[in-house]
Structure 1
Amino acid sequence: MYHSLIKLFIYKALLNFSNNIFLKLIPKSHLSYLTFSKPINEAKICLFINPFLYNNCRKKIKKYLNKINMCPLNIDSHKDLLDSLKVRGVIEDDDVYNTMIQVDRGKYIKENPYADTPVYICQGVTISSPHMHALSLKQLMGVLKPGARAIDVGSGSGYLTVCMAMRTEVLKNKNSFVIGIERVKDVVDFSLENIKNDKPELLKLDNFKIIHKNIYKLSEEEKEMLGLFDAIHVGASASELPQVLVDLLAENGKLIIPLDEGYTQVLYEITKKNGKIIKDRLFEVCFVTLKKN
């Protein structure tokens, strides 16, 4: 009995010691995720967390998660999601924040809507990660203004298309025109239902549309009817820059598109100046494929 009490005392002392050490490490280590063994952002090493220790200090951990450069584990609102992206430095532009805050991601996907991860919809189609939506909007902010014409290719759930509509103020600016184009009929129906439940007033406008069409199958007549666009976003990776999108891009317009490069994909910003195309390589990404069929 005496020896058991001594062992218990030693164990408790060691646990308290490790607890204090761990709490001191949290703000310095910049954990990328918090489970029982996950890599640290900068050092790219693993910090092993005692599950009993985690239970004892999870409230303090949650407080630190909102301060350092990481995505919190449990986010249950759209505002908290955007605030976390702001803390992490993903959203640096107030225009991006003010645009995204108007469109609750929870209205466009039911499974893990506030997790910073892509979510599968159906038939090989996903809704992109919130950080990708934020970064894409950031690149387009210069041309995505009230009165602008914008097209979202591979519009999926309809989330980013509606963000574009909010940014261009289609409800009160009749010169604005926003269109989402999606090749999968079931996904088109899904997005229309989402918009109907969130912002049904958009579906009554002539300058906002969601259409079922493969961008590669646009005829010359259809391209002429659509006109030119100041902002084009593509939510799927193409093997090469589609000529149809170059044709639809207005002078000084911007096109954001992921392109295949060997075994990886790279997000590009395409600008048209004096009729010529300027390609700016941004960063590596991972998207579904922009299918021609």
Structure 2
Amino acid sequence: MVERLTHMGIRRTEVLAAIGAVPRHLFVEEALRSRAYDDMSLPLGLGQTISQPYTVAVMTQLLLGEEPLSQRRRVLEIGTGCGYQTAVLQALGLPEIYSIERLRPLHERAKQHLRAVKLLQQARLVCGDGYLGLPEVAPFDGILVTAAPAQIPLPLLQQLAVGGRMVLPLDDGHAQFLWVIDKTEQGFRETCIQEALFVPLVNGI
């Protein structure tokens, strides 16, 4: 899988190492484990999916940008799902990781998965409305949104630190595209990266 991701343009060695270190088969349904390392999304139930490995890798690489890992000290993930993306962020060695999941069954399942790979102690998992972020912990050096809203959630913009970066898919009603939002002293810089396909981001529990 790591070799395939390299051929697909994932170049940051830290991201490739993190992907290689996390056993993806432990995060998918047992009946689907034979397909865990295929480059495809897989159903988790409750209308949710685990993203394909390339999507996880490219979003992680975009979150880091060209900066050293130390520039993304405090990271917020919106949409914990099964916990796989959370585990990849932890495998990078980032010191502060927070992740919000709206659905209680998935929140509990993610905790079980992260315990199984001995990574739960490194992240704070919260069951709540990801659209609102975690203002009590902000600002964040990085925000990763793994579901697609129609517009960039204002609370998340407000919780991004100067020098911070948000990576998220946006759904314009016709198609979804992956965007990078950088916060500078002068304001926000938005960059459209590529087409994407994510479940919708729901505002509210």
Instruction: Give structure 1 stretches of 5+ with no counterpart.
Output: 1-80, 171-175
Per the alignment, residue 2 of structure 2 pairs with 82
* C-alpha separation in 2, matches of 1:85 and 1:227: 32
Counterpart residue identity of residue 214, structure 1: D
The answer to whether the 8 Å contact 1:144/1:150 transfers is: no
Per the alignment, residue 159 of structure 1 pairs with 84
* C-alpha separation in 2, matches of 1:275 and 1:187: 38
* Partner of residue 288 from structure 1, selected from 185, 199, 203: 199
Per the alignment, residue 27 of structure 2 pairs with 108
Tell me if 1:117 matches 2:40: yes
Q: Give the deviation of 1:126 after TM superposition.
A: 1.0
Per the alignment, residue 60 of structure 2 pairs with 137
Alignment of 1:208-227 (within 5 A): 208-217=123-132, 223=135, 225-227=136-138
Q: Give the deviation of 1:162 after TM superposition.
A: 1.6
Per the alignment, residue 204 of structure 1 pairs with 121
Per the alignment, residue 258 of structure 1 pairs with 169
Counterpart residue identity of residue 116, structure 1: D
Per the alignment, residue 191 of structure 1 pairs with 110
* C-alpha separation in 2, matches of 1:204 and 1:123: 26
Per the alignment, residue 245 of structure 1 pairs with 156
| Higher-strand-fraction structure | 2
Q: Give the deviation of 1:98 after TM superposition.
A: 1.3
Larger RCO of the pair (alpha carbons < 8 Å, separation 6+): 2
Per the alignment, residue 182 of structure 1 pairs with 101
Q: Give the deviation of 1:226 after TM superposition.
A: 1.2
Matched residue SS, 2:148: coil
Instruction: Give structure 2 stretches of 5+ with no counterpart.
Output: none
Q: Give the deviation of 1:161 after TM superposition.
A: 1.1
Alignment of 1:27-66 (within 5 A): none
Counterpart residue identity of residue 155, structure 2: V
- In structure 2, relative to structure 1, the CA distance for the partners of 1:105 and 1:144 (3 Å cut) is farther
| TM-score (structure 2 length as normaliser) | 0.90
Alignment of 1:66-77 (within 5 A): none
Runs of 4+ that moved beyond 6 A: none
CA-to-aligned-CA distance 1:101-143 (integer Å, 9 cap, x gap): 1211112113121111111112111111100011111111245
Matched residue SS, 1:241: coil
Matched residue SS, 1:226: coil
Which structure has the larger Rg? 1
Tell me if 1:126 matches 2:49: yes
Q: Give the deviation of 1:92 after TM superposition.
A: 2.2
Matched residue SS, 1:114: coil
* C-alpha separation in 2, matches of 1:92 and 1:189: 33
Counterpart residue identity of residue 203, structure 1: L
Which deviates more, 154-163 or 178-187?
154-163
Tell me if 1:231 matches 2:154: no
* C-alpha separation in 1, matches of 2:147 and 2:158: 18
Alignment of 1:19-30 (within 5 A): none
* C-alpha separation in 2, matches of 1:262 and 1:217: 22
Counterpart residue identity of residue 64, structure 2: M
* Partner of residue 92 from structure 1, selected from 4, 7, 11: 11
* C-alpha separation in 2, matches of 1:94 and 1:177: 21
Matched residue SS, 2:59: helix
